[in-house]
Amino acid sequence: MGPHSDHLPRFHLAVPVDDLEAAGRFFGEVIGCERCRSSDTWIDWNLRGHQFVTHLTATRPATVNNPVDGHDVPVPHFGLILEVDEFHALANRLRAAGATFVIEPYLRFQGQPGEQWTMFLLDPAGNAMEFKSFADDSQVFAV
């Protein structure tokens, strides 16, 4: 399993962006990712120990919506599961930065298995992101 066999595997995700400078401000300053390697056409980010890459491109895949809890959830999307206080602090930073919410922060599945705070937003290139926080972290995979 390699040198990190005692840790959970890290994921790698690359997304298209149409403006690396705007991606740099958003992911570096607003989301708070550490900027790592880069070139004129891509930037590697440390997204809480995961390798996240923004690639400069002229096109991006289409998104669709899927109904969840009375909202139209954009697909594809990605994000992080945060602690409740981190979730609300990020929501406040996003509001202050003028982020475009697709679904404003709210409590989903209240009183049910998987109760969670969630919010969906778009990065400057229009990539959909979801950040969430579970009332009980053991419920992340609850049925």
Residue 24 lies in a domain: yes
| Domain of residue 34, CATH code | 3.30.720.120
Least confident of 36-45, 67-76, 118-127: 67-76
How many structural domains is the chain composed of? Answer: 2
Query: Using an 8 Å Cβ cutoff, are 77 and 128 in contact?
Result: yes
Same domain, 92 and 128: yes
Same domain, 135 and 84: yes
**C-alpha closest to that of 77 among 18, 15, 23, 26:** 15
Residue 134 lies in a domain: yes
Least confident of 1-5, 84-88, 121-125: 1-5
98: containing domain = 75-139
Residue 3 pLDDT more than 60? no
| Domain of residue 127, CATH code | 3.10.180.10
Rounded distance between C-alpha atoms, residue 46 and residue 51, angstroms: 5
Same domain, 49 and 22: yes
Q: Residues 107-127: pLDDT tens digits?
A: 999 988 889 999 999 999 999
